[in-house]
Amino acid sequence: MFCEQCEQTASGNGCHQWGACGKSPEVNSIQDLLVYCLRSIAPIALKAYELGIPNREIDRFTCEAMFSTMTNVNFSTKRFADSTQQVLQLRKTLKQAVESKSPTPISWPEICNYQPDFEENLSEQGQNFALDLIQKANGNIDIYSLQLTTIYGIKGLASYAFHAYELGQEDEKIYQFIYEALIALDRQDLDLNAWVGLALKVGEMNLRAMELLDAGHTGHYGHPTPTSVPLNHRQGKAILVSGHDIKQLEALLKQTVDTGITVYTHGELLPAHGYPILKQNYPHLFGHFGTAWQNQTKDFAKFPGAIVVTTNCLMPPHETYDQKLFTLGPVGYPGLGYLPSDADGIPDFTPVIQEALELPGFLDDETLREVKTGFAHNAVLSVADHVVEAVKAGKIRHFFLVGGCDGAKPGRSYYTEFVEKVPQDCVVLTLACGKFRFFDKELGEIGNIPRLMDVGQCNDAYSAIQIALGLAKAFDIGVNELPLSMILSWYEQKAVAVLLTLLYLGIQDIRLGPTLPAFISPNVFQLLSDTYHLKAISTPDEDLAACLA
Ligand code: FSO
Ligand code: SF4
């Protein structure tokens, strides 16, 4: 096997024997096979658009299938085999429809005719594609690096487009671009500049997908407002919901009204508490349990109720809790209960509810502490005037966006230390699961402005971008002239898409860690560093001094 799509890739240069995430070589190969089959449908889907016969089922399927191949999403060869079969069935039908409507005969690229043998082992057939891209790049390591950046960015973009369409927000331009990028992977005539342009275009399209997702969330659930979230529990039966999917959280909340069950969020669902409609309609959405995804084997084992994982990051479960753990949507693991969705994408949560009712739940009320969330763009920009005043009066010297993903590596303590060392006259904005390294710290306020503000999930990176653009407007300067530094941590492919968006927007001086992506070649990194002054993190002291200089 070969995979280097995430930050924890083995020895920093690729998982070869077994995934550090727990992915087996069989799963890795069948994921490669599925991605190849998605590439094989792309020219047909694009032609269909040209002929005015777009196919929304294929658009959505492509996004969900790409999402399922991201890190810590799905570990089930069976599910990948089913998806592969489905994509080829969809391809066959679409091809017929396109050919019958085309005024002239179509000569399809060879990839469109690729057919795996479903009677034989699919994982073995997937091994053929491990080296496909480096061959397409004619051994040029920099082009290969940009091909990988593009495909990983597309996975992140597809996951945002998936969440957006779940909430009724779609833009055909995104789907068409995904097909164009998948087709480009089959081309051998693109030079380095063309690949740089394509990677940045992923960033541009990802901005649009995140904008749609933001519109979906705020349209359904209102604009988040600053909200205190208990980190303690209350007596009674309990369900824990993990991942990022707020629509699925809402569906579960609906189905658990009047059951007496208390619902808790885990990981990236913490910011769900900030949405006014969820707060108003579902008082049994109570608190937040546990911390970052990489601590889930301990946190899930301790939770005395049923657990649903709606998206990444799922770790291979321990047998002490696997019977109470369920997955849905693109997520899967062999042996775990899977909740299939109905035509509206909503599962029947009855098995989860039954499991929760059978488990003991919490036996007492506990009073611990609270954290605040809900500082999304609307909330922060509504006080932009105060913020500008505080900066002009010298009360706020600098803003730091310390955001991104968490992971198990010891080097990630950089981010905790960084936040601890941020001077008293500076404000920290945060988002995504990296915040669990410091989310419960009491950093106090400057005037009425909290020194630590949780903007939301990684899926809310759009909100952080709007805050930066809004502040730049309020100060009447460019974003890069703001007293703002971005200190980012990355883990999986959504972070790749977000980074490409920030580069597309021309944001300079981003610091990235805990290590640089293995798939970025030294020349490509040099190019990004020359153009955008993208840099690797060093030490908290050095980086703070440089940002404040
Ligand atoms: Fe984290 Fe996982 Fe949100 Fe990622 S839970 S690491 S970037 O999948 O998605 O921040
Ligand atoms: Fe390795 Fe990450 Fe790929 Fe898993 S997703 S196999 S940890 S590079």
pLDDT digits (tens, 9 = 90+) for 291-329: 999 999 999 999 999 999 999 999 999 999 999 999 999
Residue 268 labeled ligand binder: yes
Using the mean position of ligand 1's atoms as its centre, give its distance from the Cα of residue 285 in Å: 22
To the nearest 10°, report the CA torsion of 384, 389, 390, 393.
160
Separation of 71 CA from ligand 1 center, angstroms?
Answer: 9
Q: Identify the pLDDT of residue 175.
A: 98
Give yes or no for a cis peptide into 514 (omega within 30° of 0): yes
Cα-to-centroid distance, 45 and ligand 2 (Å):
29
Q: Is the ipTM of this complex over 0.95?
A: yes
User: Which numbered ligand comes closest to the C-alpha of 70?
Assistant: 2
**DSSP 8-state class, residue 396:** -
* 284 in a labelled binding site: no
CA 241, 244, 250, 255 torsion: positive or negative?
negative
Write down the pLDDT at residue 48.
98
Q: Is 63 annotated as a binding residue?
A: no
SS3 131: coil
Residue 267 Cβ contacting ligand 1 at under 6 Å: yes
* Ligand in nearest proximity to the CA of 14: 2
Predicted confidence (pLDDT) at residue 408 exceeds the cutoff of 90: no
Position 145 pLDDT exceeds 90: yes
Q: How confident is the model at residue 248 (pLDDT cuts 50, 70, 90)?
A: very high
Q: Record the pTM.
A: 0.97
- Phi and psi angles of residue 19, each rounded to the nearest 5 degrees, phi first: -70, 135
Closest CA to 67 of 148, 132, 145, 157: 157
* Cβ pair 536, 513 in contact under 8 A: yes
Q: Is the pLDDT of residue 12 over 90?
A: no
> What is the residue with the minimal CA distance to atom 2 of ligand 1?
313
In percent, the amount of the chain with pLDDT more than 70 equals 100
Burial class (CB in 10 A: 0-12, 13-18, 19+), 120: exposed
What spatial distance separates the first Cα and last Cα of the chain, rounded to whole Å?
46
Closest ligand 1 atom to the C-alpha of 432? 10
Q: Average pLDDT of the chain?
A: 97
Reported in sequence order, the residue ranges of 362-448 that DSSP labels E, i.e. its strands, are 370-373, 398-404, 426-431, 445-446
Residue 11: pLDDT band with limits 50, 70, 90:
confident
DSSP state of 187: -
Q: Would the CB of 184 count as within 6 Å of ligand 1?
A: no
CA distances from 79 to 1, 69, 249, 413 (A): 19, 11, 23, 36
Residue 492 annotated as binding?
A: yes
21 annotated to bind ligand: yes
Residue 315 Cα to ligand 1 middle (Å) = 12
What proportion of the chain, given as a percentage, has pLDDT over 90? Answer: 96
Q: What are the φ/ψ torsions at residue 309 (nearest 5 degrees)?
A: -110, 115
Q: What pLDDT score was predicted for residue 130?
A: 81
Strands 452-456 and 370-373 turn out to be unpaired
Rounded Cα distance, 61 and 124, in Å = 24
157-172, pLDDT tens digit by residue? 999 999 999 999 999 9
Atom of ligand 2 at shortest range from CA of 5? 8
Q: Which residues line ligand 2 (CB under 6 A)?
A: 3-6, 8-9, 15, 19-21, 23, 28, 71
| Domains of the chain, start order | 23-218 (1.20.1270.20), 226-356 (3.40.50.2030), 374-546 (3.40.50.2030)
For residues 514 and 7, the answer to whether their CB atoms sit within 8 Å is yes
User: What are the strands of the beta sheet with 426-431, ordered from one edge?
Assistant: 452-456, 426-431, 398-404, 484-489, 511-513, 535-536
Residue pLDDT, tens place only, 355-407: 999 999 999 999 878 999 999 999 999 999 999 999 999 999 999 999 999 99
Is residue 410 pLDDT above 90, yes or no?
no
8 Å CB contact between 312 and 291: no
The per-residue pLDDT for 309 is: 98
CA of 432 to the centre of ligand 1 (A): 6
Q: Are 87 and 34 in contact (CB under 8 A)?
A: yes
Amino acid at 364: D
pLDDT at 345 exceeding the cut of 90: yes
Q: Which residues pair with 371 in a beta bridge?
A: 229
Categorize the per-residue pLDDT at 409 as very low, low, confident or very high, splitting at 50, 70 and 90: confident
